[in-house]
Amino acid sequence: MRRRFPWTIAAAVGMVAVLVLAISRIDLGETIREVTLPLRHDDVIRQQAARFDLDPALIAAVIYEESRFQDQTSDAGARGLMQITPDTADTIERLSGGETFEYEDLANPDLNIRYGTYFLDYLLDLYGGNVVAALAAYNAGPTNVRAWGGPELELDDIEFDETRHYVENVLERRDEYREKHPSDLGI
């Protein structure tokens, strides 16, 4: 037993050393950031932000609020990372002059982000750059935003609690993306 004891201690120390080395190689801050505020497809986000002269943190925040960066289909038929409905996709297709769109294409992250960013830019133009109005329209539709004040809409004017919370959450996430992912987003 005395002969095995030193080897047991040596093996335990070796395992602890390997474990410490493995943990030291993990960027804990990056891991926590990825869990709490994920960011995927940052290359596409940067590209589309540059194309439409939009804040990439705003695009990332919309994606986060819509889908948490997970491809999914809602009960209303909204699809993909930016949760685009078939009606909205038809509107984007009509406005952009496209002719080859298939609804299944909304599952493609690149196309979904391009379409969602196009629509977000369209809404920002429609409401004179009013981010609150554009986000409210992205969530509840332009008809509701028109009734609530259109380009003059302020957060307190939003009549749907769900939409008001949506806008508040997107604006808060936008600030977090600016703070926590500036280099990833090219800010």
**What is the C-alpha to C-alpha distance for residues 81 and 113, in angstroms, rounded to an integer?**
7
- Residue (of 90, 123, 127, 119) closest to 105 by Cα position: 90
Categorise residue 101: left if φ over 0, alpha if ψ from -120 to 50, beta otherwise: beta
Tokens of 140: 């509840």
DSSP state of 64: H
Is the CB of residue 187 less than 8 Å from the CB of residue 46?
no
With H, G, I as helix, E, B as strand and everything else as coil, classify residue 84: strand
Place of tokens 């990825």: 34
Q: Which of 30, 66, 168, 176 is catalytic?
A: 66
| DSSP H helices in 37-130 | 42-52, 56-67, 86-96, 109-126
Tokens of 97: 């002059």
Catalytic residue at 34?
no
Question: Annotated active-site positions, please?
Answer: 66
